Amino acid sequence: DTAEAVEKIRKRMIAAQNRQKFYADPECRPLHFSIGDKVFLKVAPMKGVMRFGKKRKLSPSFIGPYEILEKVGNVAYRLALPLELSGVHNVFHISMLRRYVSDPSHVLSQEPLELNPKLTYEEHPVQILDRRKKELRNRKIPLVKVLWRNHSIEEAT
């Protein structure tokens, strides 16, 4: 009786997994690029990159095409970015890339890019306010409270 119930549950679990796999598989596509391929770069997560006069919804989701210089790990690629994007790291996850298929009749207009320097922010330490050691299992971890430039003492971390 118990063995039958376990077997029935196992079959239903397999059926549910197969059903979910059926819906998920069309969305997942394996992407492989070669060195020298041209790709478009998704700029939606990079809030500092925008086209002149176009913001948010009107700004294009992808820019480029850019050439792939090398493969970094299993799922990342290094791109040849223009000088306007020198403030952006040039290694991107494969999910941020789309293949560019060259077509002689397809002419891409290169609108100027702008990297907003206000959205890149660097913190600089000013003073160490406190030191202590926290014991975690068998190790002692040093904790340091730092006062940062342009912050008050209440905001020290």
Instruction: Convert the pLDDT of each residue in 44-67 to its tens digit.
Output: 655 555 555 556 666 677 888 899
7 located within any domain: no
26 located within any domain: no
Judge whether residue 127 has pLDDT over 70.
yes
Neighbouring C-beta atoms of residue 42, cutoff 10 Å: 18
Residues 3-46 have pLDDT tens digits of: 999 999 999 999 999 999 998 887 776 678 999 999 998 876 55
Residues 43 and 110 in one domain: yes
Which pLDDT score, from 0 to 100, does residue 116 have? 63
Residues 78-88 have pLDDT tens digits of: 999 988 888 78
Which pLDDT score, from 0 to 100, does residue 18 have? 95
Which pLDDT score, from 0 to 100, does residue 79 have? 95
Which pLDDT score, from 0 to 100, does residue 24 have? 83
State the residue range of the domain holding 134: 125-155
Which pLDDT score, from 0 to 100, does residue 119 have? 58
- Give the residue-averaged pLDDT of 111-125: 64
* Beta bridge partner(s), residue 63: 41
Contact 114, 105 (CB under 8 A): no
Residues 47 and 93 in one domain: yes
Residues 110 and 135 in one domain: no
56-68: b (≥16 Cβ within 10 Å) or e: eeeeeeebbbbeb
Residues 85 and 143 in one domain: no
Rounded Cα distance between 89 and 78, Å, is 9
Residues 55 and 100 in one domain: yes
Contacts 24+ apart (CB under 8 A), 126-133: 129/153, 129/156
Q: Are strands 139-148 and 76-79 parallel, antiparallel or unpaired?
A: unpaired
Rounded Cα distance between 35 and 90, Å, is 14
**Total number of domains constituting the chain:** 2
